[in-house]
Each structure stands twice: as C-alpha cells, then as structure tokens.
C-alpha cells in the first residue's frame, strides 16, 4: 500500500507566512530603539571592516594612549619651519661650522678650554697672540675662575697662574698697565702685563 502525502492547503501556507512575520516583528520590537549597548556586543565584535573611513577622530582617542609604534613616522612630513631638518646629516656641525671642541680641550659651561695649561709666556700680549694663533682667545677673569675646580690653574707661586684678557691702567700707576691672573685656589690677583705667567686659551664651541 502506498502512503499518500497531502500538500498543505493555500490557507495553511498563508497562515505560516503570517506567523513567521509576526514572530520576526516581535523579536525586532523587543530590541527597541537605541537599545543595543556595550553589554549586547561580544568582545572583539567590532572589527576594522565595520568602521567607516575617517570615522574615528582625535576627540575619540584617549589622551596619551598612542605610542611611537602606533604612528607611521615615515609618513610624517618635514617639521614646519625646520627647512634644514632633513639635511642635518652631521650633528657635529651647525650651518657648516664645527659644533664640537677642538682636540685637547674641555667643554665647560658652553666654552672650550685647553685641558692643560700652556707654558710660561713673557707678557700678556705674547699669551694673547699665542691663543689667537691656535684659533682661540684669552678668557675673561670670570670665565677662567669658573674652571678652577676642573682645570689645574697653578699654585699661584712664581708664574704658576693663568693670564686673563683683562688689560687696564691701575690707579696711580701712570703708564703701567695691569692684568688679572687666576690660580688653582680661585684667587684673582693683579699682575703687571709684562710679568710672566702661564695661560689657558678658550675657544668658541661653534667655530
């Protein structure tokens, strides 16, 4: 005997469609307007593909949250108003000039000084000319004084002290000119410009 399978009637089909539509509408209505929040979203549910281009603005990024690894440095242009920033290939030069101390000198408070005192010069002028020949100059009394805890400025005995660039006529000395010398204790002493003394030359950092 054959089992006869009857097809659903048109009325049944219409009823099933109506039931499905009613159930779908109920599920949609259950969500409600603006009802989906963080609790309804699964972890990692929002992917890059779900975010529109240019949708995330700086106001939406937490402060101090981005690091160097998050930024494509190569895509950044030259810093504004830094026309030579992309040509600073040598950090030891500034505008083509040397920005380091000459060999054998010490950088102290932005000025380069001879690391070791030069021998005795017969006069102040002789010491000044010797420094100029090396591309330097005699330091001021205060410049040299500021180095006495770093450099050996002598004992103060005999000619064991350092000339400075001071040059003036002492009160009541007539045509005699005087300079200031500094020794290792930091003592500043007046000395005739034609009295022998050792000396230390100074050099500008950018030459």
178 pLDDT tier (thresholds 50, 70, 90): very high
67 pLDDT tier (thresholds 50, 70, 90): confident
Q: CB–CB of 112/201 below 8 Å?
A: no
Computed over every residue of the chain, the mean pLDDT equals: 80
Q: Where are the alpha helices (DSSP H) in the chain?
A: 10-31, 124-133, 141-145
* Burial class of 82 by CB neighbour count within 10 A (0 to 12, 13 to 18, 19+): exposed
Q: What predicted TM-score, i.e. pTM, was given to this entire model?
A: 0.54
| 145 Cα distance to chain centroid | 30
pLDDT value, residue 55: 77
| Higher per-residue pLDDT: 97 or 164 | 164
pLDDT value, residue 147: 95
66 pLDDT tier (thresholds 50, 70, 90): confident
Domain residues of the chain, as ranges?
A: 105-204
Q: CB–CB of 176/186 below 8 Å?
A: no
Domain 105-204: which topology?
Mannose-Binding Protein A; Chain A (3.10.100)
* Strands of the chain, DSSP E: 93-94, 97-98, 105-108, 111-114, 118-121, 162-163, 168-169, 177-182, 188-192, 197-199, 202-204
- Which pLDDT tens digit goes with each residue over 29-64? 555 666 677 776 777 777 877 788 887 787 777 887
């Amino acid at each position: 005997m054959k089992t006869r399978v009857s097809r659903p009637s048109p009325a049944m089909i219409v009823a099933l469609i109506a039931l499905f539509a009613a159930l779908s509408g109920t599920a949609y209505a259950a969500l409600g307007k603006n009802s989906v929040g963080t609790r309804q979203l699964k972890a990692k549910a929002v992917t890059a593909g779900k975010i529109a281009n240019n949708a995330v603005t700086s106001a939406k990024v937490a402060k101090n949250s981005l690091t160097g690894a998050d930024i494509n440095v190569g895509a950044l242009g030259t810093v504004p108003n830094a026309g030579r920033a992309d040509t600073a290939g040598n950090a030891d030069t500034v505008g083509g000039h040397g920005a380091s101390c000459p060999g054998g000198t010490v950088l102290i408070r932005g000025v380069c000084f001879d690391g070791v005192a030069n021998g005795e010069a017969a006069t102040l002028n002789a010491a000044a000319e010797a420094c100029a020949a090396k591309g330097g100059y005699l330091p001021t009394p205060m410049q040299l004084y500021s180095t006495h805890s770093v450099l050996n400025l002598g004992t103060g005995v005999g000619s064991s002290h350092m000339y400075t660039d001071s040059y003036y006529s002492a009160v009541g000395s007539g045509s005699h000119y005087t300079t200031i010398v500094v020794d290792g204790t930091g003592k500043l002493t007046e000395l005739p410009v034609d009295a022998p003394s050792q000396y230390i030359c100074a050099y500008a950092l950018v030459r």
